[in-house]
Structure 1
Amino acid sequence: MARYKARLVAKGFNQRPGIDFTETYSPVVKSVTVRLILMFAVTNGWPLHQLDVNNAFLQGSLTDDVYMEQPTGFVDPSVPHHVCKLQKAIYGLRQAPRAWFTELHTFLQASGFFNSKCDASLFIRRQSGQSLYLLVYVDDIIVTGSSLSQVHDFITALAHRFSLKDLGPLSFFLGVEATRSANGLFLSQHKYIRDLLTKTDMLEANTVSTPLSLSDSLRLVDLSAPADATKYRQVVGSLQYLSLTCPDVSFAVNKLSQFMHRPTTVHWNAVKRLLRYLKGDPDDRRSTTAFVVFYGSTPISWSSKKQHTIARSTTEAEYRAIASSAAELNWIGHLLSELQIRVTTTPVIYCDNVGATYVCANPIFHSRMKHVAIDFFFVRDQVARQQLRISHVHTNDQLADSLTKPLSRRQFTDHRSKIGILDGSSILRGHNRSSEIK
């Protein structure tokens, strides 16, 4: 039997910033943190439980005075012109997500948890030699820890404080299917992709072997007719969410995102091509930074983004990519430290540009590289302190290249066999505790 919900929703669009509300942002856990915690849990054989908080936005307390008109159909006839003063947050209020997170944060602190400094949505508790980790994405929560009894005790305590559903072992969260086996934890967005294809009427379309055309290039001005901008933004926004498990579409999605403000028919056709690729499961001359971060044999972070400035040489462009990779590696290192995971080997960044590799340890700046001196100090200092190692790798072995060009399906299959990535899915495996970037 279908279940229908009805709830009172405030007209939050009438609220004015600085007058009716101030802070509204509610932190959500980073995808890298999710992959890292899941990998750590799988490696150690820890339980993974998922929880869903019922009516989360109704459980937050308001710190501001908020008034609203009496809802239609429920006006008190004796005082029809009176307004209601809200005691608790309700759906529609701009500050409702923030109020819910604050309420949960307060409870977790009282229960012995502390916030990760690297990710505000990761909560950590260590008691009696046991560790407990909590990942929060609005009202979706993942719990794992070294003690099954502590996991169950915490879920019971949380259920006494908030109304929630214990969904049992991790199986489906944030649109990602999770299947545990002897080989690891298999993550897939197959259902998400199928729903997106259905929504865009592309479920019966013919498949293609590459996410973008290998011969045609996309330009801001192509003289074709304008496309439906609203629909374009909705679909490209949905495609961005696939970066959770699909590094092979990272470059294509990044490219399509550059035309959000004025999409044309050519751009929309490129979106449909990417959808067809998923079904089979240079205007400004700026370079693209791409990297894949491995923890042992497991890829935990990947990125493909256009650089902010124009590089004067391939060496400069590659070096900027090294600097971005080093920054991501630093952040992951701090997160591992908070999790008390000790990395016993020096992290390695593999780069396929000889010049960029050499300049990381060369104290002499080239005259054309003066404007990136800060980045040089950032990487060179880490290399000098032996906190980071830069190593040259042949272009054919550079796995990050799979994010920066539209590979054929066969080419990407060769890459994915090395990094454990499947179309629309990824698998988190056990590992020996080493760390490297490719």
Structure 2
Amino acid sequence: LLVYVDDLLAAGRSKAHLAELKTLLEKAFKLREISHVLKYLGLELIWDRSAQKIWLHQRGYIDKLQRRFLPEGPPRRSPKTPISVDAFKEMTFDDAELQGRTEEEYRQRVGSLQFAACTTRLDIAFACSKLASEQTVRSDQHWKELDRCIASLVGTRDVALELGGEATNLRLVGFADAGDRQSRSSTSGYIFTLSRAAILWASKRIKCVTFSSAESEYISAVEAGKEARKLRFLLAEYGLLNEDEPTTLYVDNQSAISVSEGMGLKGSLTHMERRYMWVQQMVARRKMKLQHILTNEQSADYLTKALHFPAFDQCFGRVGQVRLSAKGSAEGVSSGEE
């Protein structure tokens, strides 16, 4: 049972269970029932019961963003990626470019993008994180990157998350990465998938200063491990977790894996705080294991840095993001327009 203010969403194994829940709720509240949910809190749902799949998308929400922020219509050619590879590396300031544009308007646009990034559009999560971290600086480059992200989102308005289809193989898998070292504070990114579909993700700056890529990668794995523990509790409550099988977390740094396996803090990692070492306990108890993956196969790569289109598109297709046809059904994957 999901509750947000006065909006409730209930799911159950049988109609009898749902009817019983409805009866209990009606004793305390006046309900208006919608039996077949197509919209919920800004999300739109497409169902295929025969295939046991659901597609979550936000075409309606993105259309509202276009009318508000791109009243002249989307560009003829949408950007292939939501943020350029060289974003914010060289700041330029031009008051003529900023005429009539305020920091408040900048924050409004970033906030609107973040809602999409947190719900279905993980492909713009890094761009939103980067734009949000730069809110106090006004430059023409900030606005160009912000406009690029909006145009990219509008140009890919028909992208959805495909969930379900493999009820017998509900395996929780995580991917953790770190990158974008323009400063000592790196960016951490992680994704968790269930049946190869993304169910949880984040792209955020690591709060402490790191001195090596190994340290950044390990701290990113620690942050992902915290979420893995929560997800394991949730899946266990639903009876969907094999307690004897550790959750695999894929990382592309061998040093981070060595530390997680209890080989000690060596070399550049000797200064790390002990509070990061609880991952070793998770690994020792077979609740989680870190496994190496090649960088070009790392699904969390586009949550930690700006990528060129080929690498970005590969990440896009690994986590259940698909394109919807005009009729609403799922088609082949492609994340950008020419």
- Return the TM-score normalized by structure 1: 0.62
- Work out whether residues 300 and 315 of structure 2, in 8 Å CA contact, stay in contact via their aligned partners in 1: no
- The CA distance in 1 between the partners of 2:182 and 2:212, in whole Å, is 17
- The CA distance in 2 between the partners of 1:325 and 1:422, in whole Å, is 25
- Work out whether residues 361 and 384 of structure 1, in 8 Å CA contact, stay in contact via their aligned partners in 2: yes
Match of 2:86 in 1: 215
Bigger Rg, structure 1 or 2: 1
| Distance change >3 Å, CA 160–CA 359, structure 1 → 2 | closer
1:120-269 alignment runs, 5 A limit: 134-181=1-48, 182-183=50-51, 184-201=53-70, 203-206=73-76, 207-217=78-88, 222-225=92-95, 227-242=101-116, 243-269=118-144
Alignment partner of 1:398 out of 285, 298, 302: 298
| Distance change >3 Å, CA 255–CA 159, structure 1 → 2 | same
| Distance change >3 Å, CA 262–CA 214, structure 1 → 2 | closer
- The CA distance in 1 between the partners of 2:264 and 2:25, in whole Å, is 58
Q: Secondary structure at the match of 1:274?
A: helix
Unaligned runs of 5+ in 1: 1-133, 429-438
- Work out whether residues 232 and 263 of structure 1, in 8 Å CA contact, stay in contact via their aligned partners in 2: no
| CA RMSD in angstroms, aligned pairs only | 2.5
In the TM superposition, residue 144 of structure 1 has moved relative to its aligned partner by: 0.7
- Work out whether residues 81 and 312 of structure 2, in 8 Å CA contact, stay in contact via their aligned partners in 1: no
Deviating 4+ runs (over 6 angstroms): none
- The CA distance in 2 between the partners of 1:307 and 1:234, in whole Å, is 24
AA aligned to 2:298 is Q
Q: Secondary structure at the match of 1:185?
A: strand
In the TM superposition, residue 345 of structure 1 has moved relative to its aligned partner by: 2.0
Match of 2:206 in 1: 307
- The CA distance in 1 between the partners of 2:33 and 2:65, in whole Å, is 28
- The CA distance in 2 between the partners of 1:161 and 1:385, in whole Å, is 44
- The CA distance in 2 between the partners of 1:412 and 1:151, in whole Å, is 42
Match of 1:389 in 2: 289
- Work out whether residues 190 and 424 of structure 1, in 8 Å CA contact, stay in contact via their aligned partners in 2: no
| Distance change >3 Å, CA 262–CA 246, structure 1 → 2 | same
Match of 1:44 in 2: none
Q: How many residues align?
A: 293
1:378 aligns with 2:278: yes
Match of 2:177 in 1: none
| Distance change >3 Å, CA 171–CA 204, structure 1 → 2 | same
Q: What percent identity do the matched residue pairs reach? A: 28
After TM superposition, the structure 1 stretch with the greater mean CA deviation from structure 2, 274-283 or 391-400, is 274-283
* Cα deviations by residue, 1:357-402 (Å, 9 ceiling, x for unpaired): 2222143322542442324421111112222111111111111102
Alignment partner of 1:287 out of 186, 198, 204: 186
- The CA distance in 2 between the partners of 1:151 and 1:376, in whole Å, is 43
After TM superposition, the structure 1 stretch with the greater mean CA deviation from structure 2, 248-257 or 145-154, is 145-154
AA aligned to 1:240 is Q
- The CA distance in 1 between the partners of 2:270 and 2:213, in whole Å, is 15
* Cα deviations by residue, 1:75-124 (Å, 9 ceiling, x for unpaired): xxxxxxxxxxxxxxxxxxxxxxxxxxxxxxxxxxxxxxxxxxxxxxxxxx
- The CA distance in 1 between the partners of 2:268 and 2:287, in whole Å, is 27
Match of 1:22 in 2: none
- Work out whether residues 360 and 376 of structure 1, in 8 Å CA contact, stay in contact via their aligned partners in 2: no
| Distance change >3 Å, CA 352–CA 334, structure 1 → 2 | same
After TM superposition, the structure 1 stretch with the greater mean CA deviation from structure 2, 412-421 or 393-402, is 412-421
* Cα deviations by residue, 1:307-327 (Å, 9 ceiling, x for unpaired): 112211110010011111111
After TM superposition, the structure 1 stretch with the greater mean CA deviation from structure 2, 177-186 or 203-212, is 203-212
Match of 1:90 in 2: none
Match of 1:102 in 2: none
Unaligned runs of 5+ in 2: 157-180, 331-338
| Distance change >3 Å, CA 353–CA 144, structure 1 → 2 | same
- Return the TM-score normalized by structure 2: 0.79
Match of 2:263 in 1: 363
